[in-house]
Amino acid sequence: MARRKYVVGNWKMNGLSDALGEAQAIFAAADGHPMVDVAICPPFTLIGAMAAAAPGKAIGGQDCHSAVSGAFTGSVAAQMLADIGASVVIVGHSERREGFAESDADVRAKAEAGLEAGLSVILCVGEPREIRESGGAIDYVLSQIAGSVPDHFDAQSLAIAYEPIWAIGTGLVPTVADVAAMHGAIRGALAARFGDAAEDMRILYGGSVNGENAAELLDAGDVDGALVGGASLTAAKFVPIIAAAATLAG
């Protein structure tokens, strides 16, 4: 089965209520590209309102706690995301791994919680600059995959996002050959562990994706979509990326 292209906006800590119109415009434009799956992950505070403003659309959280409930001040459980209309959750973003000291085991537990809550999970991996420069990027990322991908899931419900940390928000992107090599290595590691199911899993690229570079990056081997930060905040910037994915969708 061919993998459908998947384009996801990670709004990070951006967006007040007046940003809902952008989300509506993005989803309206996405309706014109039915071969592409589109999701927006706004801050927690906007999920409920966005789900109401864009019924039936894929809206997600950017993180969840691994527990179902309890004394975890400030945290949000996966079930709570589902309860207010989310169908997706990002786990293991480098800004969580680095800024909140999340380990591979933490990320795996969060992914399991998301799946348990019925959410579709996007699990992020990616190397820092010094690891890339030392030539160890593939080993580093495959170690993250080994430690943070759960044992049991439906291939349609778990996507990997490869986001080299040095490419996030910097305007720097790896060469297409480097992206293809990393995605191929990830697919190979998934196949070694999960067999044929790896062919159905989507592997997204993230890090300074924009309307100009999207077509080239999305056409690289084993790249099934994009996880987009800054260029996902407005329809004007995000829709061209969705359109680029649509031109490649089979």
Ligand X SMILES: O=C(CO)COP(=O)(O)O
Residues annotated within the binding site for substrate are 10-12, 169, 208, 229-230
Binding-site annotation: residue ranges = 10-12, 169, 208, 229-230
For residue 71, the minimal CB distance to ligand X (Å) is 29
Residue bearing tokens 């010094």: 130
What DSSP designation does 18 have?
Answer: G
For residue 35, the minimal CB distance to ligand X (Å) is 22
Pick the binder of ligand X from 77, 89, 227, 235 (CB under 6 A): 227
63 binds ligand X (CB under 6 A): no
- Sequential DSSP letters for 21-33: HHHHHHHHHHTT-
93 is catalytic: yes
Coil/strand/helix, residue 216: helix
Q: What b/e readout covers 187-204, taking b as 16+ CB neighbours within 10 angstroms? A: bebbeeebeeebeebbbb
Phi and psi torsions of 61, nearest 5°? -90, 165
Sign of the alpha-carbon torsion through 130, 171, 206, 22: positive
- Identify the active-site residue in 22, 33, 65, 93: 93
Coil/strand/helix, residue 225: strand
163 is catalytic: yes
Using the minimum distance from each CB to ligand X, give the nearer residue, 10 or 144.
Answer: 10
Using the minimum distance from each CB to ligand X, give the nearer residue, 3 or 12.
Answer: 12
For residue 223, the minimal CB distance to ligand X (Å) is 15
For residue 206, the minimal CB distance to ligand X (Å) is 4
Pick the binder of ligand X from 64, 77, 107, 228 (CB under 6 A): 228
- Site mask, ligand X, residues 185-214, x = CB under 6 A? ---------------------xxxx-----
Q: Report whether 89 contacts 59 (CB < 8 A).
A: no
Residue bearing tokens 């919680």: 113
Pick the binder of ligand X from 3, 6, 7, 10 (CB under 6 A): 10
Of the candidates 183, 132, 193, the residue with the CA atom closest to the CA atom of residue 160: 183
Q: Which residues bind ligand X (CB under 6 A)?
A: 10, 93, 163, 168-169, 206-209, 227-231
Report, as residue numbers or ranges, the catalytic residues: 93, 163
